[in-house]
């Protein structure tokens, strides 16, 4: 998987020295200002995608000319049964982003000046994180 991760990282940032897509996501989002839609998938999502690709290429296409192909259980290969009973992609094994959206809030405050009234984190009442320009090292006025 590390070779696939490195390939995907270079598709999003050809000068990156990151070794994992999760590290590259953080770097691109926090330090290079990329929108969430323009960063690589998480390692969990990439792994599910790779499993679906292997299932399709090795099993489905590999047995396409057989009268009765013997396919493994798709649930082991990045698929799940939907509510209608049809197979659908299992996009990731991570919880939905909306469950942890507060982690995506980042401010552009400087460490020396501290985070004050215009700070996005202060406005929504959350602590600054490593995603913020201040890296969470800011001093907030009491």
Domains of the chain, by residue range, sit at: 2-94, 95-142
| Other CB atoms within 10 Å distance of the CB of residue 43 | 20
Q: With 80 as the cut, is the pLDDT of residue 20 above it?
A: yes
- 135 and 111 in contact (C-beta within 8 Å)? yes
- 129 and 122 in contact (C-beta within 8 Å)? no
Which of the residue ranges 17-21, 50-54, 125-129 would you say has the lowest mean pLDDT?
Answer: 125-129
| Other CB atoms within 10 Å distance of the CB of residue 89 | 14
pLDDT (tens digit per residue) in 29-57: 888 988 888 999 999 999 999 999 999 99
Question: How would residue 99 be classed by pLDDT, with cut points 50, 70 and 90?
Answer: low
pTM of full prediction above 0.75: no
Mean pLDDT value of segment 69-92: 96
Q: What's the chain's average pLDDT?
A: 88
- 128 and 138 in contact (C-beta within 8 Å)? yes
Q: With 70 as the cut, is the pLDDT of residue 140 above it?
A: no
3 Cβ neighbours under 8 A, 6+ residues apart: none
Question: How would residue 123 be classed by pLDDT, with cut points 50, 70 and 90?
Answer: confident
d(CA 27, CA 73): 37
Q: Answer with the residue of higher pLDDT: 68 or 30.
A: 68
pLDDT at position 142: 47
pLDDT at position 72: 97
| Count, residues in the chain | 142
pLDDT at position 97: 64
């Amino acid at each position: 998987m590390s070779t696939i991760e490195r390939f995907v990282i270079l598709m999003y940032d050809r000068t990156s020295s990151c070794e994992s897509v999760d590290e590259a996501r953080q770097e691109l989002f926090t330090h290079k200002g990329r929108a969430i839609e323009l960063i690589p998938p998480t390692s969990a999502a990439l792994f599910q995608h790779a499993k679906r690709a292997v299932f399709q290429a090795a099993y489905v296409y590999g047995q396409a000319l057989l009268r009765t192909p013997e396919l493994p259980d798709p649930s082991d290969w990045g698929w799940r049964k939907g509510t209608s009973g049809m197979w659908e992609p299992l996009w990731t094994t991570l919880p939905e982003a909306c469950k942890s959206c507060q982690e995506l809030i980042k401010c552009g405050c400087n460490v020396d000046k501290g985070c004050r009234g215009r700070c996005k984190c202060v406005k929504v009442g959350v602590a600054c994180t490593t995603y913020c320009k201040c890296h969470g090292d800011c001093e907030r006025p009491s």
